[in-house]
Chains A and B, each alone.
Chain A
Amino acid sequence: MNLHEYQAKELFRAVGMAVNPGEVARDPAAVQALTEQYGGSAVVKAQVHSGGRGKAGGVRLARSPEEAGGHARAILGMTIGGLTVREVLVSPIEDIATEAYVGVLVDRESQCPVFMVSAEGGVDIEDVAAANPEAIHRLRIDPRYGLLPHQAYRLATRLYDDPDLARQGARVISQLYAAFVDNGASMAEINPLISTTGGRVKAIDAKVSIDDNELFRRPAAAALRDPFSESPADRQAREAGLSFVKLDGNVGCCVNGAGLAMATMDLVKYYGGEPANFLDIGGSSNPDKVVAALDIITADPGVKVILFNIFGGITRCDDVANGIVEAVGRISIEVPLVIRLTGTNEAPAREILDGAGLAAVTSMDEVVERAVRLAG
């Protein structure tokens, strides 16, 4: 789960990090008032879960409160990466001497948190990695000891020659690791970490992703979810415990297991169709999940056919069949339903579907081909 910049900065402030001030506003008048408060100039930044905010015109400098109000009018309501901007962060303008990059994430290969730092901050770190890889310094952290003081200092000396700046940098790096671990993050970064002309090191941007698997035990982090950042279908799927991703095609897919769900989408494409979604009903045998899945799929007006692909293992085919029959009774489904069921309790599942006038096949290719044909 991604956090907004202002939320990430709150987490950083909570561990004592030097972060530039700022407040969230939702209308131009408030932005104007905040700019006044900051001495007549400010930076206005769109708060939206998308990269490339600057390039999209979502980050602007204002030299007067009126200009800030104008920027707010332009940015609020703007669409960046398909998402509407509803909030801006207003901060005083800093006197920047240097810009660095500091980030920590869980690395798949070493299976440890890995720090990445670079004196070349303020730009996309992937661009730096591509153009000038030796400008990025990496350090693997043993998760059992955490970041040790000498490691933080060593990383900071990669950013600053001046001993005082290095000391401040080491403090920020340690604090970033604390925020990363304390909040169950999978990624936390500061880009840029600036030093001011007055010799102060501080974070002026912040990015944090919380590991979705941590949310059950971190209610404070879970409460940071922006309800506007997910569609009603995404929310319904999440609340029902389904993995769902909306796509642009017309073949609605309902599958048990993530790998089989991806393979089913691929097969739809192979036969010349376009999947409308990825949907994994999971490994359990709960008919309510099937009902919720059908509810979500049928709400998409683009769907022309619904395809079930179930390979029963832990999931019992008869439970899925019951769910389908129940859903068909509860919600009106106006598109054809094609079903493939095989595996655990396949025979009783067939009887249940037969009784409701529904048919099922046993081959994945057969059912996908038929679905694509029906979708036109």
Chain B
Amino acid sequence: MSIFVDGNSRVVVQGITGRDGSFHTRQMMAYGTRVVAGVTPGKGGRDFKGPDGRVVPVFDTVAEAVSETAADCSVVYVPPAFAAGAIMEAADAGVGFIVCVTEGIPVLDMTRAHALARDRGSRVLGPNCPGIICPDKTTLGIIPGRIVARGPVGLISRSGTLTYEAVHHLTRAGLGQTTCVGIGGDPLVGTNFVDCLAAFAEDPETEAVVLIGEIGGTAEQEAARWVSANLDIPVVGFIAGRTAPPGTRMGHAGAIISGSSGTAAEKTQALEDNGIKVAKRPVEISALVGESLGC
């Protein structure tokens, strides 16, 4: 099985007519995602041309898209100035799962968007995330479909391309995935490691989990404690940023060591203290997963 989404998920794309939105919508449709609607204010009534001659109706608002097409998930490819508004619009329209790819959204905007999404019972993935892919079923976001394969491993990561690196090794080692989730590199994300771990714990097909973290914050430490208290299947970790200097933002807005907290050493220690094997190099991740699964 997969977590959060599956082949039946009905997806509305916010920002479908934009440069990134149109490109990735076609990629998602080619992979098999059921894109049922698009939204761009002012462009309602048009048709978006997908691959193989398929068309997707475009609406002015998410509410119309939901009432006309029964969309239950959305992917946001809207520029930073309007992205928090797009998330709130989707939550208000009753969309239960909202993936926000956009990077660079003001943090104060996100405090309001997260608060509203919580009140409406919507789960936000991201922002500043590559999305979620369930091999052979569906993909929401920008994770390249050709690097994944179906199998028993669940993967959660704060990064984009580092996720691809790890997935690539897993797939080549014959270790396919149930779901790969990029939770995002921002300081305030809607779905954290623990949310994903809890979902994987409920999934009978997930036999091992890979957790890819980085410097900044305490999400990995909380995940480590949760794993030790709640999870029976093996978890393999990796933490990026061992060589990062304190007090400097390393690309991701959330990747910053504040004072002495949020270091890679502290996170690695927390994972190991809770029985999680930590890979020193990305290439070791698949070997540790293979070992833990006895293959």
Binding site for B on A (CB under 8 A): 106, 108-109, 111-113, 126, 142-144, 181, 184, 186, 211-214, 216-217, 243, 245, 247, 255-263, 265-270, 275, 278, 280, 283, 311-315, 342-344, 363-365
A354 to chain B, nearest CB (A): 23
CA gap between A243 and B115 in the complex, in Å? 29
Question: Is B233 among interface residues, defined by CB-CB distance under 8 A?
Answer: no
Which B residues lie within 8 Å of A261 (CB)?
A: 250-251
Which B residues lie within 8 Å of A314 (CB)?
A: 20, 24, 142
Contact status of A280 and B251, CB under 8 A, knowing A262-B214, A313-B161? yes
Does the CB pair A108–B187 fall under 8 Å? yes
B51 to chain A, nearest CB (A): 17
Does the CB pair B115–A263 fall under 8 Å? no
Does the CB pair B80–A258 fall under 8 Å? no
Question: Is B280 among interface residues, defined by CB-CB distance under 8 A?
Answer: yes
Most chain A beta-carbon contacts within 10 A, residue among B106, B110, B114, B243 = B243
Q: Among B115, B212, B217, B243, which residue has its beta carbon within 8 angstroms of that of A259?
A: B212
Does the CB pair A275–B160 fall under 8 Å? no
List residues 183-220 of chain B with CB under 8 A from any CB of chain A: 185, 187-188, 212, 214-215, 217-218
Does the CB pair B107–A262 fall under 8 Å? no
Does the CB pair B162–A106 fall under 8 Å? no
Does the CB pair A283–B244 fall under 8 Å? no
Most chain A beta-carbon contacts within 10 A, residue among B80, B162, B218 = B162
Which A residues lie within 8 Å of B114 (CB)?
A: 111
Majority SS of interface residues in chain B? loop
Which B residues lie within 8 Å of A267 (CB)?
A: 281-282
Question: Is B104 among interface residues, defined by CB-CB distance under 8 A?
Answer: yes
Q: Among A112, A258, A275, which residue has its beta carbon within 8 angstroms of that of B115?
A: A112
Question: Is B69 among interface residues, defined by CB-CB distance under 8 A?
Answer: no
Does the CB pair B165–A258 fall under 8 Å? no
Contact status of A213 and B104, CB under 8 A, knowing A106-B188, A258-B251, A262-B250? yes
Question: Is B173 among interface residues, defined by CB-CB distance under 8 A?
Answer: no
List residues 102-142 of chain B with CB under 8 A from any CB of chain A: 103-108, 110-112, 114-116, 130, 142
Does the CB pair A243–B251 fall under 8 Å? yes
Most chain B beta-carbon contacts within 10 A, residue among A113, A181, A216, A261 = A261
Which of B7-15, B32-40, B252-260 sits within the interface? B252-260
Contact status of A113 and B111, CB under 8 A, knowing A259-B157, A364-B165? yes
Does the CB pair B130–A313 fall under 8 Å? yes
Task: Across the interface, name the chain B residue whose C-beta is closest to A185.
Answer: B108
Which A residues lie within 8 Å of B267 (CB)?
A: none
Question: Is B73 among interface residues, defined by CB-CB distance under 8 A?
Answer: no
Q: Among B103, B143, B188, which residue has its beta carbon within 8 angstroms of that of A108?
A: B188
A29 to chain B, nearest CB (A): 35
CA gap between A106 and B185 in the complex, in Å? 16
Residues 236-280 of B, flagged 1 when their CB comes within 8 A of A and 0 if not, give 001011111100111111110001000010000000000000001
16 pairs of residues in contact across A and B, judged by CB atoms under 8 Å: A106-B108, A113-B108, A113-B111, A211-B107, A214-B108, A217-B106, A243-B251, A245-B245, A255-B161, A259-B255, A260-B164, A262-B251, A263-B238, A266-B242, A268-B243, A313-B160
